[in-house]
Amino acid sequence: MPNRRAALTGAAALLLGGCGFQLRQPPKLAFQSIALTGFARRSTLAEDFRLQLERQVKVLESPEKAELVLQALEDLRQKSVVASTSAAQVREVQLRLKFSFRVSTPGGRELIPRADLLLVRDINYSETQALAKEAEEGELYREMQADVVAQVLRRLAAVQV
């Protein structure tokens, strides 16, 4: 009985291992160094870019020494009321994250012209759960920011220097 169980477990492991399942990997970048410019001084978005990019390439401070320059043109977070009750109580809020960027060589040759990314999430709101909704809002912004980083990395992977 124990041998039969071990054989079945081993067979199941072989079948699952051969199915081709693999976690999504970050896109492969075809350059060796990049500089990030135009970001706010303590931008969490810039820090996310730096962390993701440093896994594959060198992130340099000086744009003149880098192969590519990722220039942030706009990084906005907006929150607006979408629905309210007749008593003027907020019921639904819309969160927006807009990021505009361009990619060029240090010499000024444009590789990716100005691109605008806009992510929108709707969130229900209740004044009785204000602290929880604030935490949920922060989490949604973090998820949108991670999505922006992933989208930009996919575009950078298509760039040929």
Low-confidence ranges of the chain (pLDDT < 70): 1-2, 6-8, 10-19
Query: What local confidence, expressed as pLDDT, does residue 68 receive?
Result: 95
pTM (2 decimals)? Answer: 0.80
Residue 151 has a pLDDT of 95
Q: pLDDT at position 16, please? A: 58
The end-to-end CA distance of the chain, in Å, is 61
The 3-class secondary structure across 4-60, one letter per residue, is HHHHHHHHHHHHHHCCCCCCCCCCCCCCCEEEEECCCCCCHHHHHHHHHHCCCCEEE
Please state the domain extents for the chain.
30-157
Q: Which CATH architecture has domain 30-157?
A: 2-Layer Sandwich (3.30)
